[in-house]
Each structure stands twice: as structure tokens, then as C-alpha cells.
């Protein structure tokens, strides 16, 4: 997948534009040489991430990919708060309070835009805090199905079906589909000189400005949709169509990919019922049978999966539209918060199993 994704990104479409030439020590590289060097970096980086993920998954807690995501998002959040230059939250507020930034009247459009969106970052701060709170709350909302051990009297537990049952990771797949669509548009724009305008028009920077590829382009920041600012050249109705398509794609795509994720990671009703049966547990009041347990799970898991996937997609679009501290994408922020919360739960689960070895045997953790 690294090769299949990296080759067209580097050598076609200008998705990763390379320099015309590069002096590397005593070697002079032309554009093809620079592209080969970029592809080698992508390939080696992808393989290293794969191996490091395997090491963390085997010997540590959680996923190595998850740790990389947390580290990247945390770095951008901290930088967005404390960097001593324009764009840093505290530095910009220092400039506002000392009069270095002209705010103007607080009831005027320019004054409100300065405080809420531009130098003030108030909306970005509120969005970041609310996303943290909503995701943590949603992770704690669950339907708990009671369980009891068939052979050990008094051994009871609960199987939690969380609101965000499929986690936030399916959002990566949704955004990957959108990115691939835009990637195809850039390839067509660079290779097809007579591409019709209804299919897509592009700026000199390679960004879609009209046509099909503009309307299906995801929204990553407030500058992509605030038609009343100087950064958006399209009409308001064009921007509203783009917003509607992005929201629909993220909500519907989030639900679809959440179902796909649950079924392919053995989290569906059938796989869950087999895991409960193999652990020696049963649902009190029901026969100890895989089919019976599966029917009980079918009452909750499919519905919660769809609702949770749609909710995560809506939160991701909302975070992108309003912006966050450090310019973190909505999907990245959701992933960081969700993965951190799951790491906390996994560490607590490991501690519980170390304190109670029987729990490890009951839930298939080995000796």
C-alpha cells in the first residue's frame, strides 16, 4: 500500500511537487532524482512505522500508529498555544492586550472576526475544548449487558457497548476516500489539458476552484467556507453546496465505514457472541448458546455502530469548519482524544488483570 500510494503521489499529478533540481553534497539531482529521493523517504518511513507499530502492539499497550497520531496532534496543539510568534494563542492575546493588534469596535464585523476567528482564536479554543469534552463523554456513554460465569458462582461482569463503538478510526478511511477523489482530480488536471470546466477548474496552486472536484472537496478550515471573507472567491450558494456535500459524505460515510470496521475487526454480534461463549460467560436469564447471545447483541451493536459513526463524522466536520487550536484537523483531534481515552482504559484493564489473575483467564488473556 505504501508503494501503490506513494508512486502516483510523487510521479503524477503534482500532488507532492518536487524541486527542479537539488544539490545534495557533491551530487546534483534533477527533478526525477528528487522524485526518487522523495519516494524512498515515503517508502522507508512507511516500513518503519509498520515495524514500530508491531513492536508497540506486541510489547506495549495500545497501538503504535495511535501513539504516532497522539504525538503529532499534541505537538500541534501545544505549539498552537505557546509558540512565540503570530498564530500562537497566548502570543496573539499578548499583542491584542498591548495594542499591537487593532481590534476596533467589538460590535463591528471586523472586530468580532478579529477576536473570534483571527488573532483572538476564541472559537478555535471553544471548539477544541468542546470536542475534548464531547468525545470523552461519548466514550463513557454505553449500554452494559450483564454477564455471569457459567462455572464460577459470583463471578459477574458487564459487556459495554459504547456510543462510539467502532472508535474514531473509520474516519481515516472516509477522509482517505475524499483525498483519493481529489488526487484523481489533480492527476486529470495535470495530464488532461482539455478537461471540461464542469468537471473541475484549478488555481495555480493546484486547488480546485469550481466544478465537480470543488464541490466534493473536503472542508479543512474556516477559510474554506467563509464566503464573506476575502479568502473565498466562490458565491455563497456554491459554498453551501460544498458544505452540504461534505457533511452528508462524512455522516453517511462515517456510518458505513463504522459498520465495515466492526465487521472486519471481529466486533460484530456474531464474533462478540463467540468471544463471550469461549470465555465461559453467559447472559443471565438466557440459555448458554452462541445463537442466543448473538440475538441479544444484535439488539444493540448495529444501531449503536451507525449512530456513533454518524456522530463522529458530524463532529469532524464541525471541528474543521470552526477551526481548532494549532490548526489541527477535526479528524486528527477526534483521533487523539479517543485514542488517549482508550489507552487509559487499556492500562486500567491491564492493572485489573494483574490484580485478579482469574479475570485474565476468563477473558482469554492467557496465564
Span 107-123, pLDDT tens digits: 666 677 777 877 888 99
Cα dihedral 15, 218, 310, 65 in deg (nearest 10): 30
More confident residue, 284 or 211: 211
Confidence of residue 78 (pLDDT cuts 50, 70, 90): very high
Rg (CA), the chain: 25
Among 24-33, 89-98, 242-251, 355-364, name the one with the lowest average pLDDT.
Answer: 355-364
Confidence of residue 354 (pLDDT cuts 50, 70, 90): low
Give the tens place of pLDDT for each residue, 152-194. 666 677 888 888 888 888 888 899 899 889 888 888 888 787 7
Give the tens place of pLDDT for each residue, 7-37. 888 887 566 776 777 777 777 888 888 888 8
The pLDDT, as a whole number, for residue 29 is 81
The pLDDT, as a whole number, for residue 367 is 44
- Asked if pLDDT for residue 308 goes beyond 90, the answer is yes
By CB atoms closer than 10 A (0-12, 13-18, 19+), residue 226 is middle
Confidence of residue 246 (pLDDT cuts 50, 70, 90): very high
The pLDDT, as a whole number, for residue 90 is 93
Measured over the CA atoms of residue 168, residue 138, residue 336 and residue 117, the dihedral's sign is positive
Mean pLDDT of 330-349: 86
What would the grid cell of residue 309 be?
Answer: 459513526
Mean pLDDT of 293-300: 91
Give 252's Cβ-side CA count (13 Å radius). 7
The pLDDT, as a whole number, for residue 366 is 47
Query: Residue 47 to residues 7, 52, 111, 161, 180: CA-CA distances in angstroms?
Result: 15, 9, 49, 34, 21
Mean pLDDT of 328-335: 88
pTM of the model: 0.82
CATH no. of 129-367: 1.10.3370.10
Among 82-91, 220-229, 316-325, name the one with the lowest average pLDDT.
Answer: 220-229
Confidence of residue 281 (pLDDT cuts 50, 70, 90): confident
Mean pLDDT of 271-285: 84
The pLDDT, as a whole number, for residue 43 is 93
Which residue ranges make up each domain of the chain? Answer: 68-120, 129-367
**Please, what is the average pLDDT of the chain?**
84
The pLDDT, as a whole number, for residue 82 is 92
The pLDDT, as a whole number, for residue 258 is 94
- Asked if pLDDT for residue 206 goes beyond 70, the answer is yes
CA distance 72 to 56: 17
Amino acid at each position: 500500500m505504501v508503494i501503490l500510494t506513494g508512486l502516483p503521489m510523487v510521479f503524477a499529478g503534482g500532488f507532492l511537487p518536487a524541486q527542479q533540481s537539488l544539490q545534495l553534497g557533491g551530487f546534483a539531482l534533477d527533478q526525477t532524482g528528487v522524485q526518487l529521493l522523495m519516494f524512498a523517504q515515503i517508502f522507508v518511513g512507511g516500513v518503519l512505522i509498520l515495524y514500530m507499530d508491531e513492536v508497540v502492539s506486541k510489547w506495549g499497550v495500545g497501538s503504535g500508529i495511535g501513539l504516532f497520531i497522539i504525538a503529532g496532534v499534541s505537538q500541534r496543539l501545544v505549539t498552537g498555544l505557546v509558540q512565540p510568534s503570530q498564530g500562537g494563542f497566548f502570543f496573539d492575546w499578548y499583542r491584542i492586550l498591548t495594542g499591537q493588534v487593532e481590534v476596533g469596535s467589538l460590535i463591528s464585523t471586523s472586530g468580532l472576526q478579529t477576536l473570534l476567528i483571527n488573532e483572538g482564536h476564541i472559537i478555535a479554543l471553544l471548539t477544541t475544548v468542546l470536542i475534548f469534552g464531547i468525545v470523552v463523554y461519548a466514550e463513557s456513554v454505553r449500554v452494559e449487558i450483564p454477564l455471569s460465569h457459567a462455572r464460577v458462582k459470583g463471578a459477574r461482569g458487564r459487556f459495554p457497548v459504547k456510543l462510539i463503538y467502532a472508535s474514531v478510526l473509520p474516519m481515516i478511511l472516509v477522509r482517505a476516500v475524499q483525498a483519493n477523489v481529489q488526487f484523481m482530480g489533480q492527476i486529470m488536471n495535470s495530464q488532461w489539458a482539455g478537461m471540461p470546466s464542469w468537471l473541475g477548474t484549478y488555481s495555480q496552486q493546484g486547488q480546485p476552484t469550481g466544478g465537480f472536484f470543488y464541490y466534493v472537496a473536503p472542508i479543512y478550515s474556516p477559510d474554506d467556507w467563509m464566503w464573506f471573507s476575502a479568502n473565498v472567491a466562490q458565491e455563497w450558494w456554491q459554498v453551501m453546496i460544498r458544505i452540504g456535500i461534505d457533511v452528508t459524505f462524512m455522516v453517511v460515510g462515517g456510518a458505513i465505514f463504522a459498520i465495515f470496521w466492526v465487521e472486519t475487526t471481529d466486533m460484530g454480534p456474531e464474533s462478540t457472541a463467540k468471544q463471550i461463549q469461549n470465555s465461559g460467560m453467559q447472559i443471565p436469564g438466557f440459555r448458554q448458546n452462541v445463537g442466543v447471545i448473538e440475538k441479544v447483541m444484535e439488539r444493540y451493536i448495529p444501531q449503536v455502530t451507525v449512530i456513533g459513526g454518524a456522530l463522529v463524522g458530524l463532529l469532524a466536520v464541525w471541528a474543521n469548519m470552526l477551526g481548532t487550536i494549532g490548526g489541527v484537523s477535526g479528524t486528527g483531534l477526534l483521533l487523539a482524544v479517543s485514542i488517549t481515552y482508550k489507552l487509559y482504559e487499556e492500562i486500567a484493564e491491564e492493572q485489573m488483570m494483574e490484580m485478579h489473575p482469574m479475570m485474565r483467564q476468563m477473558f482469554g488473556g492467557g496465564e
